Structure 1
């Protein structure tokens, strides 16, 4: 992946795509001549003012004559694109696939937030004061209400989570936000939409990411450590927020039903029966600190309503039972088109023992996720190192 920054005026979108591709191909010790499938992980065209960027990609990556496809599911785009390549390889349609994308949100000609605000249903929800921040704030409030957790306790736990993730990001040279913050500093940062404060939210990011995926036969010819995909699943939920408000049951806006279902399917493929004991590292898609307790519950690391308590106990710290986002996660860099692909890459680095200063010792199995839309799409992959 490229370094993640607020702006990259020195290059364009395709420069980031090229740089990320060159790095991934070099790491895998393959060339574009070996690649038979390119999957572009790319979000809304309006962010960069280029219609169908997959067209220019063909020449930028010397991919003429190769199969090129584009995938877009919002924040889940990265896992959706990786799953598309995984399926093609499993079906025998590809031996070597390059999954790549980039974003230049800080350089967008339109406000990135304005573009993201266009995801709502135009008939019923677009007239409401909804944006990605208020949507997530509603989720946080629903979560507290659903589990009888007081607002003050929730705010203090979210501040602790944000501080931990920012401290993790300080160890990651690719992260955009590398300055640690204390819980008190998080609580003192400006309020964006109650109860979310600025330092509980992800930044706007410019950067690119790429991964190379190959068949088992091709992997046997690669001298470097590889990461195996033991399970990969995706699930969706309703488009309408109102359908997750008020009704009793699991499909509540204060939960991640689609994530829990995708995780259950991926775990079944991977033979994971006790994720809290069998997973060494988690890289879930957490663009807001308020999402972590909900995500760890959906992934089976915490019982329902216990995500905050487990965070308070330090279970998800670097030295805890299940380190969550040792890279700093999306909270420290959020190039939406590839935020989930970065989770995939970070999980692979961990199980390969190549994560550098933010490596978790003894990591052999990792779970990575993507989440997109109005908390609607989710993808989950289980990655394994060679000697596990």
Structure 2
């Protein structure tokens, strides 16, 4: 994955990702009966209705093709659609695939994301994905009476850890380690988020092959089982989550915590901090990690920073978080959440290469999209778990 890919187009990325997934699963397009396209807003890559050309690019004439889009959560939403189809007996072998190719649109990705807010209600603030996340970080510190300096130092540690993890991942875009001091010295984007606390602009593709239990039983390759999968939504309006009654506060991840609770219940997870071996949450900004680990049940409310300081989320810690480097090291928006799913599957299959976590049998993966509005959570299990 790189910032720009002048050597190929969007469909070249989709094709390459599809071939890699099909080869890894030892199946062909002849076996695939459903293609789910995980594809974000057209404006990001400058192609209207990419699902139309996809049919011929993937030799999918006559097959069912559907496109899914829920912002940053698109990848998990697309996987969930394929999962539903297989669970309903409507598909035996599905290919979930997508890509993003930044720079091909006449407008930059950031410009596009600057225009996603309601014009009458919030556009004049002005909000964008960076400022939205910065406000979330500020709100989190306020809710839990954590000083700004401590927060900044903790987020710098998070960014450094994730970048160090990404250095071990051959598919990550950012593979150069950074120190916490370097993070704190990087330019300020929107207080308190600095450049090295933020994800890059990425061109890249991803794909996964999903099959029924009957098909899985005939496969020679190790498989990852989905033990639980849930998604929840929240309000579009940030103002309705600022100081709101109850738990629906912009400084938390209410939709993520609810989706996680449902997925855990399906999977029989009663103590996620002890029963999950690896987590691949959707963390495009280092400031989001404490909030995400709390929503996933790894930390008590307000304790995500303290637990990170203790090393609980390090590669050798109790619950390694984003051993791949996560979205902070590669962020092709349409498939960032799909990559989380693929990374979790690789971990429980023991095929994650240099960033494999020893003994990983159970993983949780997430996607998040919209104005911190949509969340998807899946619990994955290896064959011998």
**TM-score of the pair, normalised by structure 1:** 0.99
- Retained in 1: the 8 A contact 2:46–2:104? no
Provide structure 2 residue ranges, at least 5 long, that are not aligned to the other structure: none
1:120 aligns with 2:107: no
Corresponding residue SS for 1:168: helix
- Retained in 1: the 8 A contact 2:45–2:103? no
- Retained in 2: the 8 A contact 1:8–1:107? no
| Offset at residue 248 of structure 1 (A) | 3.3
Matches of 1:117 and 1:277, distance apart in 2? 40
| Offset at residue 106 of structure 1 (A) | 3.8
Corresponding residue SS for 1:85: helix
- Retained in 2: the 8 A contact 1:175–1:332? yes
Corresponding residue SS for 2:333: coil
**Cα distance per residue 1:71-105 (max 9 Å; x no partner):** 00000000000000000000000000000000012
Matches of 2:271 and 2:338, distance apart in 1? 25
- Retained in 2: the 8 A contact 1:116–1:132? yes
Aligned partner of 1:177 among 174, 178, 185:
174
| Offset at residue 262 of structure 1 (A) | 0.2
Matches of 1:47 and 1:207, distance apart in 2? 13
Equivalent pairs, count = 385
Worse-matched range after superposition: 127-136 or 271-280: 127-136
- Retained in 2: the 8 A contact 1:9–1:107? no
Give the equivalent residue in structure 2 for 1:137: 134
- Retained in 2: the 8 A contact 1:165–1:332? yes
Corresponding residue SS for 2:103: helix
| Offset at residue 298 of structure 1 (A) | 0.1
Matches of 1:34 and 1:334, distance apart in 2? 30
**Cα distance per residue 1:21-58 (max 9 Å; x no partner):** 00000000000000000000000001122111000000
Worse-matched range after superposition: 185-194 or 243-252: 243-252
C-alpha RMSD of the superposition: 0.6
Worse-matched range after superposition: 307-316 or 125-134: 125-134
Aligned partner of 1:50 among 47, 52, 61:
47
**Cα distance per residue 1:207-245 (max 9 Å; x no partner):** 000000000000011001000000000000001000001
| Offset at residue 148 of structure 1 (A) | 0.3
Matches of 1:116 and 1:225, distance apart in 2? 39
1:109 aligns with 2:106: yes
